[in-house]
A and B are shown apart, each in its own frame.
Chain A
Amino acid sequence: MSDPIAAEMKVTPPKKSFWRNLSFVWLVPLLALFVSLGIAWQNYADRGTLVTISFANASGIIAGETTLRYREVVIGQVEQLRFTSDLGRVLVSVRVDNEVVPFMDQESAFWVVRPEVSARGISGLSTVLSGVYIEGAWDNVVGEPLTNFVGSDTPPLVQPGRPGRRITLATDDGTTISSGSPVLFRGVEVGRVETPRLSRDGRTVLFDAFVEAPHDARLSEATRFWDTSGFELSFGTAGFEVDFDSIASLLSGGIEFDNIYDGGEEIGPGYVFTLYEDEDEARRNRLVQGVARGVPFSIRFDESVAGLEAGDDVSYQGLDVGVVTALRSRVVDTEFGPQVSLFADVSIDPQRMGLPQETTPEETVEFFRFAVTTGMRARLATESLLSSDLRIELVVLDDAATAFLTEPEDGNPVLPSVESNLSDFTATAEGVLERINALPIEEVMQQAISLMDSIEVLARNEDLQRVPGSTVALIDDARALVGSEALQSVPDQIAAATTDLQQLIADVREGGAVDALNRALASLDEAMVGINAASQNAPALTENLTKLTSEDIPAVLAELQAVAATAQALDLDGLVNSATQTLNRIDALVANEAVQNIPAGVEAAIADVRQVVADVREEGAVEVLGSALRNLDRAMADISIASQDAPALTQNLREITETDIPQLLSELEAVATTAKELELQTLVDSATGTLTRVDALIGSNETMDLPGTLNDALTEMRLALAELRAGGVVENLNATLQSASDAAGSVAASVEDLPQLTARLERLVAETEVVVSSYGARSDFNTQTLSALREVQNAAKSISDLARAIERSPNSLIFGR
């Protein structure tokens, strides 16, 4: 009997629900998974597009490192480098950002940026350290995307997408233009030149140029391009001048363009511009314009047209109105048979002639038809004075032969032409030089030289050089004479004498001895009358002498000198001899002591008078005066006798001065005048005659006695006065003194003139002495003068011939006789 055993209870843990036990921790791996996947997915999606660019070589490109940049921003990276199938190029696979891929279209350009040093500058330096990178350029227009591109090694000269226009230029010589040369417009860079290439036939060098907007709007058919590369070196009056546009154009060449006329037409796509050498040539070449707008004419020339070529201008009154398009020759039937004539085809622009814009060619021809009837002709003319380039000018000639505009059916209207007056400047210049050569300049020069030599010799002549010295000495002597104390003291003495006399008169008046004086004075009167008469002559005498010395004799001297200057050598010996004789006499006269003693005598006389008066005063007694007066009376009688001669003497002198000497002088004048007329023999004869007469005059006793007579008179006066002094008579002093005072007055008056007279006499004598001595004493002065005069005459003759020739026809200087 056992208890029932409970069954084993199976205790099993409750079944864990899978989901209930799932803890939240499983989120972590899930999250990690998602995040990882998300990142991976995003990386993958953002990777960008693989683009393939082919290059010639992959220098510097490293897969995985080299970047592709656009505007310096990295937009992609090179992943892989491969070759093309023929190993010709390198394919670079670049992973490019997706934002940029749509813009990479047909016109994209890729290039490798490397450090580059060129004339345009240094670029790409940053790539030295960071490695090269590929740069791309495309426009900002979404186009058809491509994935295969062709890259280049150098950047394209024109960024794709830059607005502008690409044109083609042609030139013969491409040495000055290189890729990258700037295109300039008025000095501003407006474009770039791309690499030159040869044309197919190898004769022309073509290159593309890109002109940026907005300047590409200026391009038209009127545009001309010229080369401004290099520099221009000119050496002118201002010194060296170096002219170049810019350093870039200096190093890499440059092109400049400009429109040479307005209103050019649009250029088509295949238009090729010509590159000219320089600006002048470009501007001159208006062939295109002339042909396009001008009306064609022909001009026939019957003369040589060497120097005229197609492209030369046709001008009307200096304004270019057209251009020569061609030169040709044609056989023309004339009355002399078939002849070859030269025709120049020109194209004249009606607008430049001034016709309105819409003028039709027919209207232009009509206008020229009218113009020809009014005298318009065509003519050849030189471009400039010294060049031999020709151009055609249209001139309106008033005197042209009638001609008309001929209009043949098979050609252009023919403008009539006239002969040209091409002045050959070189021939003219040669002719002028020949004429100048033919002038007898050398002979004239030689004669002038010999004349100058003679004048020099003449001037060097010692005598001539002594003349001024002598003149100066003469003046000094005269001055000395005038200034000599003797003469200067004469007025003082006279004044003193007058004072003394006045006092004496006063005393005498007190004395009251009048009668004796009266008697004395009566005789004194007579004497004084005589002296008066003489002295009356004296002013006239002095006047004559003055006239003589101041006018006549200098005139004669001048004449004589003129005679000497114009005399020609002939027989003057006789003249010389008689002149010498005359001179000797004059010498003797001058040397005469009497003449030289004249002033001394006068002085002494005056001194005596003073002395007398002094004595008279000293004595103080009228009695003494009376006796003196008696003596004076006697003396006066003597003096009157003597002075009776004086008038005659002075009369003689007067005669001499009034008549003889003037006569002589007039004769000399006549001689001189005659001498001027180059009548030499008569000159000599009259000179000889004159000299003989002078000789006679001087040799006459009267003249020889003149000083002696004067001296005698003075001596007598002196004696009388001495007697008077010795006697001591004073009674008749009053009246005597009255008359004496009168006498003294007239004496004073006459004596006043005496110094001048003597001075002039001295001067005259000295002058005559000098002139005559210099003339006569040395005869080689004569010969030299004469030879000089001969030379002068020859020279004068030649010059006068020349002057006459020129005077007759001034043109002869240039054109010859």
Chain B
Amino acid sequence: MADAEPAQRIVTARSAGLVGCAECGRVHRRDVEVCTVCGSLLRSRDGSSLQKVWAWLIAGMIVYIPANIYPMLRTSTLGHTSESTIIGGVLELVEFGSYGVAFIVFFASVVIPISKFIAIAYLAYRVHTGKRGRARHLHLYEVVEFIGRWSMIDVFVVAILSALVQLNFVATINPGIAAVSFALSVAFTMISANSFDPRLIWDTREGKLA
């Protein structure tokens, strides 16, 4: 018998009427509103967290589209202006032969955001459908949450270039719309990941919805 019901029911804190602070971990009784250690709100389960997750995720996806369509950088060298989108820039870098940079840009600007979208969507879906969660989902969640901020590296590059390369006629780099859009996209997904309550995974694990 695979995956038989455990012999003993594990008593969850929730069912024990206890709630732990999400920030500091201090356990409180259920009716306590505010954590006595860190002062953050004590919430056993957030009912609307999934909506938030989905909302922010969709917003991030929406905003990610112009980030790819519109040019990321506007470069003017000696009066010669050229604009490049993310993927266009990657392709140009590959043409130039800078494979490393191209890979980094591609990975940071394309792979990670899209994987984040997929990951968070997957997790939200699983929670939503009440499928049983596993440990790997939790790991996935943690990875997503950790790596989310590193997508901002692309925006950081654009910002640095725009700030430094202002050599008037010889070379000028200006950010395009895509930079703003991409930053928003990254921010939205970060919020989305942040609003995802991983305890929901446990709930589903236990087959119970919160």
Binding site for B on A (CB under 8 A): 16, 21-23, 25-29, 31-33, 36, 39-40, 65, 129-131
Q: Is the contact region of chain B dominated by helix, strand, or loop, or is it mixed?
A: helix
| Interfacial chain B residues near A36, Cβ < 8 Å | 62-63, 65-66, 181
Q: Verify if B188 is at the interface (C-beta below 8 Å from A).
A: yes
Q: Verify if B39 is at the interface (C-beta below 8 Å from A).
A: no
Distance (whole angstroms) from the CB of B196 to the closest CB of chain A: 13
Decide: B66 and A25 in contact? CB cutoff 8 A.
no
Decide: A32 and B80 in contact? CB cutoff 8 A.
no
Q: Which of B50-58, B111-119, B159-167, B197-205 contacts A (4 or more CB under 8 A)?
A: B50-58
Decide: B79 and A131 in contact? CB cutoff 8 A.
yes
Distance (whole angstroms) from the CB of B152 to the closest CB of chain A: 18
B contact residues, range? 20 to 34
Decide: B51 and A29 in contact? CB cutoff 8 A.
no
The chain B residue sitting closest to A35, CB to CB, is: B63
Q: Verify if B108 is at the interface (C-beta below 8 Å from A).
A: no
What 10 A-B pairs come out closest when comparing CB atoms? Answer: A130-B79, A29-B59, A29-B58, A32-B59, A25-B55, A23-B48, A32-B62, A25-B52, A28-B59, A26-B55
Q: Verify if B147 is at the interface (C-beta below 8 Å from A).
A: no
Q: Which residue in B52, B78, B81, B184 is a CB contact (below 8 Å) of A32?
A: B184
Instruction: Given A33-B62, A36-B65, check contact A131 B80 (CB 8 Å).
Output: yes
Q: Which residue in B47, B51, B81 is a CB contact (below 8 Å) of A25?
A: B51
Instruction: Given A22-B51, A23-B55, A25-B56, check contact A32 B79 (CB 8 Å).
Output: no
Q: Which residue in B52, B80, B188 is a CB contact (below 8 Å) of A65?
A: B80
| Interfacial chain A residues near B51, Cβ < 8 Å | 21-23, 25-26
Decide: B78 and A28 in contact? CB cutoff 8 A.
no
Decide: A21 and B78 in contact? CB cutoff 8 A.
no
The chain A residue sitting closest to B79, CB to CB, is: A130
Q: Verify if B27 is at the interface (C-beta below 8 Å from A).
A: no
Distance (whole angstroms) from the CB of B65 to the closest CB of chain A: 7
Q: Which residue in B47, B48, B188 is a CB contact (below 8 Å) of A28?
A: B188
Instruction: Given A39-B177, A131-B79, check contact A23 B63 (CB 8 Å).
Output: no
Distance (whole angstroms) from the CB of A269 to the closest CB of chain B: 46
Question: Within the assembled complex, what's the spacing in Å between the Cα atoms of A145 and B109?
Answer: 45
Instruction: Given A39-B177, A130-B79, A130-B80, check contact A29 B48 (CB 8 Å).
Output: no
Distance (whole angstroms) from the CB of A41 to the closest CB of chain B: 12
| A and B contact pairs by CB, cutoff 8 A, 24 listed | A21-B48, A23-B52, A25-B51, A25-B52, A25-B195, A26-B51, A27-B55, A28-B56, A32-B58, A32-B59, A32-B60, A32-B62, A32-B188, A33-B59, A33-B62, A36-B62, A36-B66, A39-B177, A65-B80, A65-B81, A129-B79, A129-B169, A130-B78, A130-B79
- Among A22, A29, A40, the most chain B Cβ lie within 10 Å of the Cβ of A29
Decide: A29 and B55 in contact? CB cutoff 8 A.
yes
- Among A22, A26, A40, A131, the most chain B Cβ lie within 10 Å of the Cβ of A26
- Among A27, A28, A39, the most chain B Cβ lie within 10 Å of the Cβ of A28
Contacting residues of chain B (161-191) with chain A, CB-CB under 8 angstroms: 169, 177, 181, 184, 188
Distance (whole angstroms) from the CB of A783 to the closest CB of chain B: 113
| Interfacial chain A residues near B181, Cβ < 8 Å | 36
| Interfacial chain B residues near A32, Cβ < 8 Å | 58-60, 62-63, 184, 188
The chain A residue sitting closest to B69, CB to CB, is: A40
The chain A residue sitting closest to B52, CB to CB, is: A25
The chain A residue sitting closest to B51, CB to CB, is: A23
Decide: A25 and B48 in contact? CB cutoff 8 A.
yes
Question: Within the assembled complex, what's the spacing in Å between the Cα atoms of A33 and B55?
Answer: 11
- Among B65, B66, B184, the most chain A Cβ lie within 10 Å of the Cβ of B66
Binding site for A on B (CB under 8 A): 47-48, 51-52, 55-56, 58-60, 62-63, 65-66, 78-82, 169, 177, 181, 184, 188, 195
| Interfacial chain B residues near A25, Cβ < 8 Å | 48, 51-52, 55-56, 195
| Interfacial chain A residues near B56, Cβ < 8 Å | 25, 28-29
Decide: B66 and A40 in contact? CB cutoff 8 A.
yes
Decide: B62 and A29 in contact? CB cutoff 8 A.
yes
Distance (whole angstroms) from the CB of A250 to the closest CB of chain B: 36
Question: Within the assembled complex, what's the spacing in Å between the Cα atoms of A32 and B66?
Answer: 11
Question: Within the assembled complex, what's the spacing in Å between the Cα atoms of A130 and B65?
Answer: 33
| Interfacial chain B residues near A31, Cβ < 8 Å | 59
The chain A residue sitting closest to B78, CB to CB, is: A129
Distance (whole angstroms) from the CB of A38 to the closest CB of chain B: 11
| Interfacial chain B residues near A16, Cβ < 8 Å | 47
Distance (whole angstroms) from the CB of A66 to the closest CB of chain B: 11
Question: Within the assembled complex, what's the spacing in Å between the Cα atoms of A568 and B121?
Answer: 161
- Among B47, B81, B195, the most chain A Cβ lie within 10 Å of the Cβ of B81
| Interfacial chain B residues near A27, Cβ < 8 Å | 55
| Interfacial chain A residues near B62, Cβ < 8 Å | 29, 32-33, 36
| Interfacial chain A residues near B48, Cβ < 8 Å | 21, 23, 25
Question: Within the assembled complex, what's the spacing in Å between the Cα atoms of A22 and B58?
Answer: 15
The chain A residue sitting closest to B209, CB to CB, is: A13
The chain A residue sitting closest to B56, CB to CB, is: A28
Distance (whole angstroms) from the CB of A55 to the closest CB of chain B: 21
Question: Within the assembled complex, what's the spacing in Å between the Cα atoms of A426 and B16?
Answer: 147
Question: Within the assembled complex, what's the spacing in Å between the Cα atoms of A446 and B100?
Answer: 120
Distance (whole angstroms) from the CB of B111 to the closest CB of chain A: 22
Question: Within the assembled complex, what's the spacing in Å between the Cα atoms of A130 and B76?
Answer: 10
Question: Within the assembled complex, what's the spacing in Å between the Cα atoms of A33 and B61?
Answer: 9
Distance (whole angstroms) from the CB of B190 to the closest CB of chain A: 13
Question: Within the assembled complex, what's the spacing in Å between the Cα atoms of A65 and B177?
Answer: 19
Distance (whole angstroms) from the CB of B137 to the closest CB of chain A: 23
| Interfacial chain B residues near A21, Cβ < 8 Å | 47-48, 51
Question: Within the assembled complex, what's the spacing in Å between the Cα atoms of A40 and B69?
Answer: 10
Question: Within the assembled complex, what's the spacing in Å between the Cα atoms of A65 and B82?
Answer: 8
Question: Within the assembled complex, what's the spacing in Å between the Cα atoms of A28 and B185?
Answer: 12
Question: Within the assembled complex, what's the spacing in Å between the Cα atoms of A23 and B46?
Answer: 12
- 12 new A-B pairs (CB below 8 Å) besides A25-B55, A29-B55, A33-B62? A21-B48, A23-B55, A25-B48, A25-B51, A25-B56, A26-B51, A28-B56, A32-B60, A39-B66, A65-B80, A65-B82, A131-B80
| Interfacial chain A residues near B80, Cβ < 8 Å | 65, 130-131
Question: Within the assembled complex, what's the spacing in Å between the Cα atoms of A510 and B59?
Answer: 186
| Interfacial chain A residues near B78, Cβ < 8 Å | 129-130
| Interfacial chain A residues near B188, Cβ < 8 Å | 28, 32
Question: Within the assembled complex, what's the spacing in Å between the Cα atoms of A162 and B63?
Answer: 51
Distance (whole angstroms) from the CB of A390 to the closest CB of chain B: 70
Distance (whole angstroms) from the CB of B36 to the closest CB of chain A: 28
| Interfacial chain A residues near B195, Cβ < 8 Å | 25
| Interfacial chain A residues near B58, Cβ < 8 Å | 29, 32
The chain A residue sitting closest to B61, CB to CB, is: A29
Distance (whole angstroms) from the CB of A95 to the closest CB of chain B: 15
| Interfacial chain B residues near A29, Cβ < 8 Å | 55-56, 58-59, 62
Question: Within the assembled complex, what's the spacing in Å between the Cα atoms of A483 and B210?
Answer: 177
| Interfacial chain A residues near B59, Cβ < 8 Å | 28-29, 31-33
| Interfacial chain A residues near B79, Cβ < 8 Å | 129-131
Question: Within the assembled complex, what's the spacing in Å between the Cα atoms of A32 and B65?
Answer: 11
| Interfacial chain A residues near B65, Cβ < 8 Å | 36
Distance (whole angstroms) from the CB of B129 to the closest CB of chain A: 16
| Interfacial chain A residues near B66, Cβ < 8 Å | 36, 39-40
